[in-house]
Structure 1
């Protein structure tokens, strides 16, 4: 009888107890990283699929909401027990969020119809107007690298191809994979000139500053587990094509 009691106690205290059984994740339409209405049978996007799998493995329910990106960041940073993805970890955001775990790397580049742009220096000198997504890390990156606000045109998600085709911007500064995804989706005829990556950073699952620490630690472990299993690399190969890297 004593042995049974000890076993039950061990099970109770080793099982994480979360603040609630339902959490909200805010995201942005950024194929192939996250998608509100998937245009393929793949799923919800590389980053969103990975994070939802982490929640599933913890047997925790998560509801995904897509709202304007600046508002989403404000809701999470000022709220409690809310999550956001895919969020780049840049100085302007460092103190506003709890950084749960990096999910994948993202390269950023300039895309244009009239010239190939391979560096910030070239872009500053040769581009008059550069499209960047509302509230994205791209805007802050360009300001930090010496661009003037007058050179930057904040645009809605996915509007880069049409803005380029209409000549309303000289170039689009964005995540390379997302740029190519949208260009292919819109079936643009003109060849797109995508320069070398000028920046690379990690995309995170982030959370409110006031967040359930037990869930935070559990999610971190699950995302690391997914990386070690090669689960995220398989997602990337499925969405982007290419070979799957071997698990660590």
Structure 2
């Protein structure tokens, strides 16, 4: 009976939550596309595990993953607060973050401490939001990171904290060019977080698949295709 149940768990489909985060993950009317979508597809294919991708806001994806069996969410920054709540597969992304100011109001920064008295826009549930909040910066969050460009242009925030590749894509999409960041201040490793009850065999298969993707050059190739680097 136990063997039978184990085989059923192994064969069960995994729901993978991700969120609109150009160019890493993007949902259109008919397709899912982006760097993360390509990584998910390759990783689950190599692990021989059935899956489906569902787009949800990051905060909701994290909550659903914590509560539900056979569910994962990515890309997530591993923090002390989150570490024990999930089973992890990673890293899937290496991200660099900068602080952007509006074209009309440049704010030269030498260190991150210079931004202490300023309002900083990020998006809900993001690791960089938690990072800045933990050091008592004045963080304002939105559900959609693209809204921060508009808030910056309307002087509703002083700075926008954003992942560099994503920031460039969002600027092109919104047709608002902010130029180079005033400061590049943080690098993080982002991973896939899975419900703690995820079958051990499935978890190991996904970890092995991701490791093989680094070893045979797939990860370097797919990152370069999207203008990122390892």
Same fold, judged at TM 0.5 (above):
yes
Q: Is 1:162 aligned with 2:150?
A: yes
Contiguous gaps of at least 5 residues in structure 1:
1-15
For the 8 Å contact 1:116–1:194, the answer to whether it is kept is: no
What do you get for the CA RMSD once the two structures are aligned?
2.3
TM-score normalised by structure 1 residue count:
0.81
CA distance in 2, matches of 1:19, 1:222: 15
Partner of 1:12: none
For the 8 Å contact 1:118–1:197, the answer to whether it is kept is: no
Partner of 2:15: 24
Q: Is 1:68 aligned with 2:57?
A: yes
Q: Is 1:229 aligned with 2:213?
A: no
Partner of 1:139: 129
Deviation at 1:61, TM superposition (A): 2.0
TM-score normalised by structure 2 residue count:
0.87
Q: Is 1:213 aligned with 2:200?
A: yes
Partner of 1:192: 179
Partner of 1:177: 165
Deviation at 1:193, TM superposition (A): 4.0
Q: How many residues align?
A: 220
CA distance in 1, matches of 2:79, 2:110: 22
CA distance in 1, matches of 2:211, 2:188: 17
Partner of 2:3: none
| Higher Rg | 1
For the 8 Å contact 2:77–2:188, the answer to whether it is kept is: yes
CA distance in 1, matches of 2:150, 2:130: 23
CA distance in 2, matches of 1:62, 1:51: 9
CA distance in 2, matches of 1:176, 1:118: 18
* More moved, 93-102 vs 16-25: 16-25
For the 8 Å contact 1:103–1:204, the answer to whether it is kept is: yes
CA distance in 2, matches of 1:35, 1:131: 21
Deviation at 1:36, TM superposition (A): 1.9
Contiguous gaps of at least 5 residues in structure 2:
1-5
Partner of 2:109: 117
User: Which of 35, 38, 48 is equivalent to 2:26?
Assistant: 35
- Superimposed CA distance per residue, residues 67-109 of structure 1 (whole angstroms, 9 cap, x where no aligned partner): 1221110110122121110011011211111112211211111
